[in-house]
Amino acid sequence: MHNQNDFPGRRQFLGRLAAGAATMGLASLADPLTLAAEPVSPLPDEKSFEEWLGRIKGKHKQVFDSMMPDNGMPLAWSRVFLMSNKQLGVPESECTAVLVLRHDSIPLAMEDRLWAKYKFGEMFHVHDWGTTTPSVRNAFWKPQPNTLPLPGMGLNELLDSGVLVGVCDMALTVYSQMAAEKMKMSAEECKKEWVSGVFPGVQIIPSGVIAVNRAQERGCTYCWAG
């Protein structure tokens, strides 16, 4: 397993935030879009974010905080939470799992076409299972049978089970800008394409840290998910 400090993306991401703060003052961190060289859209919808949070219910509520893709393992922990509660005879209506995909975990929420075009496997250090070959597709959406270590951990399967999945808009903004610079695209064009490639059912959240905070305010316990 990689040490989180070894990820080049983490250093670049924090460097971009630091550069924005130095140029515009610390107040600019309240709005990650000011860190981009060009105007970037769309903004996450506040109403839909609050409605998404409003779906947190039941006695047993846990938020899984994923900062690194770890070859899809953050998805497994949500499945384990549901499986374990079921084994204990807890009704499904009494459980809510919230999975927050932030920082390097954001490609888990995006379509194959973006993995191929932007080489997410290389960018975010995701390999095909059992190999050292960077992935060129999202193997965690509608996975083929027996290709993942835990049944039912596919992102689509988690959504079907009622897991609330959010992807960080701040990370979408900063990383899409990095990709845009490399591919000679406008930041706005790239951001729009990334947003259009977020899977149906995944909520774009203002930032991962805000979602973790709000979920805990609604009674979720915290679990670091890699």
- Residue 155 CA to residue 78 CA, distance in Å, equals 10
**Cα–Cα nearest to 214, from 153, 173, 168, 175:** 168
Summarize pLDDT for 117-168 with one digit per residue, the tens.
Answer: 999 999 999 988 767 889 999 999 999 888 898 999 999 999 999 999 999 9
Q: Structure tokens of 138? A: 């999202």
Tokens 């790239």 -> residue: 190
The confidence score (pLDDT) of residue 129 equals 73
| CA dist., res. 147 & res. 66, Å (int) | 21
Beta pairing partners, 134: 127
Distance (Å, whole) CA 133 – CA 119: 12
How confident is residue 92, by pLDDT bands cut at 50, 70 and 90? confident
Rounded to the nearest integer, the mean pLDDT of the chain is: 85
Least confident of 7-11, 189-193, 194-198: 7-11
Distances (CA, A) of 77 to 62, 144, 223, 225: 10, 19, 9, 7
| Alpha helices for the chain (secondary structure H) | 8-24, 46-53, 73-87, 112-118, 120-123, 155-160, 169-183, 187-196, 208-217
What is the C-alpha to C-alpha distance for residues 212 and 222, in angstroms, rounded to an integer?
A: 8
Single out the residue of 128, 132, 107 nearest to residue 118, CA to CA: 107
Of residues 51, 175, 161, the one with CA closest to residue 105: 175
- The fold adopted by the segment(s) 41-224 is Hypothetical Protein Ychn; Chain: A, (3.40.1260)
Percent of the chain residues past pLDDT 70, beyond the cut: 80
| This model's pTM is above 0.85 | no
Tokens 């005879």 label which residue?
89
Provide the residue ranges of all domains of the chain, joining segments of one domain with +: 41-224
**pLDDT above 90 coverage of the chain, percent:** 72
pLDDT for 15-43, tens place per residue? Answer: 555 444 343 333 333 344 444 434 444 56
Q: Compute and round to an integer the Cα radius of gyration of the chain.
A: 17
Tell me if 198 sits within 8 A of 118, measured CB to CB: no
